Structure 1
Amino acid sequence: MTEIKGWHVFAGFASAFGIIIAVNLTLAFNAVKTFPGLEVRNSYVASQAFDADRAAQLALGWEVSATVEDNVLRLVILEDGAPIAPVIEQATFGRATSVAQDQTPEFSFDGTALVAQVDAPDGNWNLRLRLRAWGADGTLFQQRIIVGTGS
């Protein structure tokens, strides 16, 4: 039987800590690489108008929902129970944790909903909307809708 010497102990410790450090660096790199980014540039400035913007958006009285079936995204916006088609400034359909599969749907109004073709494998998806109300005030409406697909 061989005797354990100092360099054996050092090699064991160095190997163990080397593995731990390599795993931590890999996880940190992948976390930063897949981070989708910031919601707003300056959260303090955005917070100053939050209450007023929220009140104006709620005053519209819109009921908004979205579903995906057979890769068709249906966005239903109801105002006083009737379907409407507001101005779409921005619409992004993608995963919550990554921008790799983000899509910009091309909506068309079919009389009851805004409809667009998307590539949506099973899972959880987000539809991030930025809409503008018709009319003189042009109230901004922003919302993120969670859309599940598959079973």
Structure 2
Amino acid sequence: MRILLGLLSGLIFGLGLIISGMANPAKVLNFLDLAGHWDPSLGFVMGGAVVVTYLGYRLAWRQGAPVLASGFDIPTSSRIDRPLILGAALFGLGWGIGGFCPGPAWTALPLLSPGILTFLPMMLLGLWLGARGRNMPLLTSKGGLK
């Protein structure tokens, strides 16, 4: 049942990404192009997502536990460290250059556009390198660049 509900949630989320235009890199890049053909509609999509997320969390925290799990999976750390900042910067650069973030990239895969066929393998390579590089001095908070 949990897998089925996860699949259904993913399909609804993907449909929302497609309907909102988030799977269209041109829409994303136009949102980021403040000096050119700026398209503010993506800001409304993000604002709506923030409101829905806020309300959803308020409802979820009223429950003792999730319906299909023993407890909520909540991060234990609130530290802002070098790996977090580096990861956020890389995510933002990738989003700004490619016009995709990971979720919409997967929903755009059936289009088989050259952009998505380049972005997805590079995203997967970056995820793999990031997982392998966790112990590299650049990524650790005790070593690397100062």
Same topology, TM > 0.5: no
TM-score by length of structure 1 reads 0.26
Relative CO higher for 1 or 2, CA cutoff 8 Å, sep ≥ 6? 2
> By percentage of residues, which structure has more helix?
2
With the length of structure 2 as denominator, give the TM-score of the two structures.
Answer: 0.26
Compare the two structures and name the one with the higher strand fraction. Answer: 1
